[in-house]
Structures are given as structure tokens and as C-alpha cells.
Amino acid sequence: MLQTDLAATILSYCSETNLSVSELTRKVSGSHDKTMALIKELEERSLLLPEVSRKQSVGRPRQYLRTTPIGRQFLTEYKRLHDLSLRSNDNDIRKALHQAELAQRLVERGISPYARFQEINELARNIASTAKVKRNTR
Amino acid sequence: MLIGGFALTAYGQLRTTQDVDIAIAANYEKSVELQVRLQKSGYQLASPPNPKAPFFFVTDLKEMLEVEIWTRPDGVVFDTELLRRRIKVRPFNDSFEMFAIGPEDFVVNKLARSDRGVQDEQDTVSVLALQKGKLDYAYLRKRANKAGVIELLETLMQKSHTN
């Protein structure tokens, strides 16, 4: 995960709910130290702000992290840029090209893609329904 | 007209799909009218009509088939150019003919999805590969540009050597 991705994850969590630092580090996967360092950096850049909850009548006031308005703007911009990136890697593209090759062979042999499509779908449905029966009879 | 996995079969790879995606050119009033009629005919609607939703779910309880009916499919503009590029297909054992979205609009629709994933990009690559040289590239680029996915398209074409 890129540092920017991790920053966006943290800002996203803190814009939705009030989380303490320990709650946040538990939610975010990856190294604890790395997350702590990033939280500190986000605070220094005023993207994240520690706040104290005064709602509780008993016990120590609870401290939690909130995403600031510029933190929310960071999130919006991040999402826009994230939409620009490809979701597939080289392997996914290779697989797709291989699948296209297989479909091409069908056409060349005069097999209707829709007929084969129906067969595949029916097979998949049959497998799914028999798997359900087996699970139910356990 | 068909979009999604059923339309993909006409141009690209074969893969299983759990639902049928259909795009209709209908305003909200017409879409509500259709939803009421479908419900009266025994189809199950997943939720009440919503003017903000770009599609609605219908389940054919007899066949247990889910249908997604799109009134505002991502990146798709209902105009004469789009209609002209549709093709006729027979997806259900030659029982009847249906229109399927044209390959160029199929690609743009896949790339413009707000929840675009690996599968959408793989579907796109398979169409670009199988239809290489047969696509109307000027139209494809024009539509991709309008939908804001031209850079995505060019990158995928470059990576898959389908340009």
C-alpha cells in the first residue's frame, strides 16, 4: 500500500466516525509504527485534528481524531486521481487476452458464442445448486 | 438493448454472469410505468422506484433470473449514433432477437462504471483484442473522451497492444 493510500484510508475512517488513535491503528492494516507516524504527519499538515469529547459525564474525556475540511478535500482529490488508475495488473490483462483468443477459436470453428455462453451459465448454475443441496444435507 | 455480460458474448470473452443487464431509453415517469407493469406481471422489484437511481433490479421469480434495468448506464448517451451501432443477437436459444449495445459503446460503458473493477477492464481488453481493426476508433475515442475515460482507454490499449 502506498503512503498516500494509507493516508486516504485513515482520513476516510476519521471522516465517518469518531475514532481514538488506538481504535484507528487497530482498524488500519499494516505496521503500527508506520500508521502512528502517518497520523502524526497528517496532524502536522492539519488534515487530521485531535478532538476531545466532553459528552461523557464520567471518566476521563475521550480523545478522538477528526478529518478536517482540508482533509476531506484531500480525500475528494484522492478519489478523483484513484479513478484514473487501472484496477488490473499485467497478469489480469494477459488472462483477458488469452480468454479472447479462446473465444476467437470458437468463432473460427463455427460454434455460436451465445450457445456456449448458455452452456457455461447452465453448468455454473448446476454446480451452484448442487453445492447448496450438499451444504443443506450436512 | 443488452449491455454487460450478455453483450460481451457478442464481442469478447465468454464468462458466466448472474444477471442480465438491459439499458432502456426512458425518462423517470416511463421507468416507473415499466416497474409497475413488471410488478403486475409477477416480477419482483428489489426496491420502490427512486428518481436518483440509474438502474433498478427486477427478479424473474419463475426462472430465478435477476435483471438490472439501466435508465442511465455509465458513459452511455442515447442518441442516433448509439442506436445505429447496436447489433441484433439471439441470446436465448434462438427464441427471439434482442439488440446488444455496439462494441465501442460497450467499452466506454465498462470503463465509465463508477465501481469499475478488474473484471470490467478484462472485459474491455477482450473486446479490444477480438475486435481489433474492426472497431470505429474515431467514434470510440470520441465517446471515451466525452465520458472522461479516454486516458484509461489509451492506457489499456497500450498495455494490451490492441491500439
- Residue A134 has a pLDDT of 54
- Residue A137 has a pLDDT of 52
CA separation for the pair B114, B108 (Å, rounded): 12
Candidates B14, B16, B156; nearest CB to A86: B156
- Cβ-based burial of B102 (10 A; exposed 0-12, middle 13-18, buried ≥19): buried
CA separation for the pair A25, A31 (Å, rounded): 9
What are the phi and psi torsion angles at A87 (to 5°)?
Answer: -90, -25
Q: Is B105 on the interface with A (CB under 8 A)?
A: no
Average pLDDT over chain B reads 93
Which amino acid does the sequence have at B96? F
Kindly report the number of other CB atoms within 10 A of residue A36's CB atom. Answer: 13
- CATH code assigned at A66: 1.10.10.10
Quick check: B91 and A113 CB within 8 A? Answer: no
User: Is the same domain home to A8 and A49?
Assistant: yes
Residues of chain A neighbouring B97 (CB-CB closer than 8 A): none
The C-alpha cell that represents B15 in the structure block: 464468462
Nearest CA-CA partner of A85 in B41, B40, B68, B116: B116
Q: Of A125-129, B2-6, B9-13, which range is least confident?
A: A125-129
Percent of chain B with pLDDT over 90: 82
Nearest CA-CA partner of B128 in B90, B89, B154, B100: B154
Quick check: B17 and A95 CB within 8 A? Answer: no
Task: Please compute, for residue A66, the number of CA atoms within 13 A of its CA located in the half-sphere on the CB side.
Answer: 9
Residues of chain B neighbouring A93 (CB-CB closer than 8 A): 121-122, 125, 156, 159-160
Total structural domains in chain A?
A: 2
pLDDT tops 90 at residue A29: no
- Residue A63 has a pLDDT of 85
User: Is the same domain home to A78 and A112?
Assistant: no
- Residue B16 has a pLDDT of 87
Percent of chain B with pLDDT over 70: 99
CA separation for the pair B145, B59 (Å, rounded): 35
CA geometry: angle B35, B37, B40, nearest 5 deg: 110
- Residue A135 has a pLDDT of 52
User: Is the same domain home to A16 and A78?
Assistant: yes
The predicted-structure confidence for A83-110, as pLDDT tens digits, reads as follows: 888 999 999 999 999 999 999 999 899 9
User: Is the same domain home to A58 and A111?
Assistant: no
**Boundary (domain end) residue, out of A63, A84, A105:** A84
Q: Does the reported pTM lie above 0.80? A: no
User: Is the same domain home to A100 and A133?
Assistant: yes
User: Is the same domain home to A121 and A71?
Assistant: no
Percent of chain A with pLDDT over 70: 91
CA separation for the pair B25, B79 (Å, rounded): 9
Residues of chain B neighbouring A87 (CB-CB closer than 8 A): 116-118, 120-121
Q: Is B10 on the interface with A (CB under 8 A)?
A: yes
Q: Is B100 on the interface with A (CB under 8 A)?
A: no
User: Is the same domain home to A11 and A55?
Assistant: yes
User: Is the same domain home to A120 and A66?
Assistant: no
User: Is the same domain home to A68 and A111?
Assistant: no
Domain that holds residue A105: 90-137
- What is the DSSP pairing of strand B19-23 with strand A62-67? unpaired
Element spanning A52, H or E: strand A48-53
The predicted-structure confidence for A116-133, as pLDDT tens digits, reads as follows: 888 888 887 777 777 755
User: Is the same domain home to A97 and A77?
Assistant: no
Candidates B10, B92, B122; nearest CB to A88: B122
User: Is the same domain home to A7 and A70?
Assistant: yes
User: Is the same domain home to A98 and A59?
Assistant: no
Q: Which residues pair with B99 in a beta bridge?
A: B88
